[in-house]
Structure 1
Amino acid sequence: MTLTELKYVLAVAREKHFGRAAEACFVSQPTLSVAIKKLEEELGVTLFERGGGGELSITPAGERVAEQAAHIFELVDGIKDLAAEAKDDLQGPLKLGAIYTIAPYLLPELIPHLHERAPQMPLLLEENYTRVLTEKLKKGELDAILVATPVEDPSILALPLYEEPFVVAVPANHPWKKKKSIASAELENENMLLLGSGHCFRDQVLKACPALNRSATGGLQKTLESSSLESIRHMVASGMGTTVLPCTATRLHTSSDSLLAYRPFTQPAPSRIVSLAWRKSFPRPRAIEAVRQAILATSLGCVDKIRPGKR
């Protein structure tokens, strides 16, 4: 069994035709057909059922072999990537994940600074829940992730980047617009808009504002849920209720901002620590450092950036 034979299997499975598969592989049809037949004899199974005119269908065994062949070529590509990365940590794509409540507010600032430091290292970005990002990081499907909860896994390293305070967002005509700060206990009597279950920011808000734990289970008359902070902001602007946001979310200007008012919490204000996490075995430490330095160079004025040795 050779990689070439497996490449032919994938081509035939994709094209469903020996002639078209041969053209795609830049070989003659007899060459491809002989290679497929040889592999079938070696494996002792039929991979493709031949029909008239070169048309064919893939057998169940053929589907499984094609699936494994595709995985093998992914591994081969990974080996090539590793070789290229070994030559230069800052050369080649970096697969970066971020939770939904970080990505929209940090990435627009991060990308220009990172491009200055590593112009040959484009980002492959994914937004998802902390749990999903952590699993993908462990499996090697992501190279690094930006999260706001501790990653407790011995195979993963994490470095705190900044502490981000929470703020209260209310409609512009809300009486709280006249207040300088809001105590967390005051939120209990408000119609609160929160992210849905699964978002770590929701859990952090409920932990920071214990009074909301009662409201959050009290039904729609007390708490409404949404899948994104931006949808929540628009609902607050429309007068639907009140919410808590990470302070960076207040920097994303929209046409509805004139209908909103933001107020800080009374000290000590609730906050979160945003961290960069990566596998201990990840072979590109300079790439991780480039991301860290780029984030520290951003102008997120409302956060307290954490430099090594600071805490």
Structure 2
Amino acid sequence: MTPLPTPQQLRYLVALADLGHFGRAAISCAVTQSTLSAGIIALERQLGAAILERGTAKRPVFTPLGLDLVRRARVALAALSAFAEAAEAAREPLSGPLRLGVIPTIGPFLLPRLMPLLRRAFPRLQLWLREDLTERLGEDLAGGRLDLLLLALPAAIPDAETLRIAEDPFLAALPPGHRLASEKAVPLSALGGERLLLLEDGHCLRDHALSACGLPGAGGGDSFAATSLHTLAQMVAGGLGVTLLPRLAVDGGVVAGTPVVLKPLAEPEGRELGLAWRARSPRAAEFRGMAETIAEAMAG
């Protein structure tokens, strides 16, 4: 019978695939480069098959089998993590480490209100945070590097269960003196002829804003886009165009100190905020239990 790989060997394999460099993969696994290399070689000998191509390439190149094994290693590590989580959840719900991923258009504005509530409601919870774009957070969730995501829905995350928490309405953000600044509410149709400022591609809020305005995915035709909502607000303040800002960010002070004019939309549009976790996670009941606290923080 073929000897089974160890969890550590699977971690070496996934780290090498994720980082594309033996040295960086070794650092992420807290071992020496020679130890990681020896672990991969030992795995190849156990399986009697090549995982990496042997050549002159400086970066590791996986064989077709190697790529398939990386995918299977991710699934196996997630299953092992769920195995341990089941025992931990049974001992005391929402205690111990929890690795939470959050998108940049939520984290800076919600976490200052959410963290005190979580500490009060779940004093034994050890929360580790990672802020990134939805796609990369989804990869980390699938790979077992994160346990839970706080993000905007819908989100294309394979094999994940989601829970809607709250609606986050959009406000029209206008430069001072703009022709629509005197309106009680701004019709979306009135924004059709305006230069719509957007976040960089990859931010889900970009797609939500385009959808609200009925624009195609490419949107606007501009080659320049903002890297954050704070930058977006400054661009509007400078008269470069208009945008849509989520109420959560406005309440969090994203336009504080700027002359940006905020107006509600005549036809309410927004985004849904929610949680995502690996399907069939043994901690699903715990995550649902956190939703009420997050909704409380959203309500302000």
TM-score w.r.t. structure 2 length? 0.68
Return the match for 2:152 from 140, 148, 152.
148
Q: Residue in 1 aligned with 2:262?
A: 262
1:114-125 correspondence runs (5 A): 114-125=118-129
Q: Which residue of 2 aligns with 1:235?
A: 235
Q: CA distance change for structure 1 residues 131 and 58 in 2, over 3 Å: closer, same or farther?
A: closer
Counterpart-to-counterpart distance in 2, 1:135 and 1:178: 45
Larger Cα-atom Rg? 1
- In structure 2, the gaps of 5 or more residues are 1-7, 9-31, 45-72
Alpha-carbon distance between aligned partners in 1 of 2:149 and 2:36, rounded to the nearest angstrom: 38
Between the aligned partners of 2:162 and 2:169, the Cα distance in structure 1 is: 20
Alignment of 1:153-232 (within 5 A): 155-210=159-214, 212-213=215-216, 216-219=219-222, 224-232=224-232
Contact 2:174 2:181 in 1 (8 A): yes
User: In the TM superposition, what whole-angstrom CA distance separates every residue of 1:93-140 from its partner, at most 9, and x where no partner exists?
Assistant: 111112221212221111111111111112111122222222222222
| Alignment match, 2:282 | 283
2:134 to 127, 130, 135: 130
**Distance in structure 2 (CA, Å) of the matches to 1:61 and 1:229:** 43
Is 1:252 matched with 2:252? Answer: yes
- Tell me which amino acid in the other structure corresponds to 2:205: F
TM-fit CA distance, 1:254? 5.9
Higher strand share: 1
Inter-partner Cα distance in structure 2 for 1:60 and 1:161: 42
- RMSD (CA atoms): 3.8
Partner of 1:304: none
SS at match of 1:104: helix
| Contact 1:237–1:256, Cα closer than 8 Å, also in 2 | no
SS of match in other structure, 2:198: strand
Q: Is the 8 A contact 2:173 2:244 kept in 1?
A: yes
Aligned-pair distance for 1:281? 2.8
Following superposition, the deviation at residue 295 of structure 1 comes to 0.9
| Partner residue, 1:273 | 272
Displacement of 1:299: 5.0
2:162 match: secondary structure:
strand
The secondary structure found in structure 1 opposite 2:102 is strand
- TM-score, normalization: structure 1? 0.66
Question: What amino acid maps onto 1:233 in structure 2?
Answer: A
Q: Deviations over 1:154-182 (max 9, x none)?
A: 73221110111111111233232211111
Q: What residue ranges of structure 1 are gaps of 5+ in the alignment?
A: 1-5, 7-47, 49-56, 302-311
Pairing 1:62–2:61 present = no
Percent of pairs identical after alignment? 33
Residues 240/153 of structure 1: CA separation in 2 closer, same or farther (3 Å cut):
closer
Alignment partner of 1:259: what SS? coil
What letter matches 2:210 in structure 1? L
Q: Distance in 2 between matches of 1:67 and 1:105?
A: 45
> How far apart, CA to CA, are the structure 1 residues paired with 2:290 and 2:35?
47
Contact 1:161–1:276 (CA under 8 A) maintained in structure 2: yes
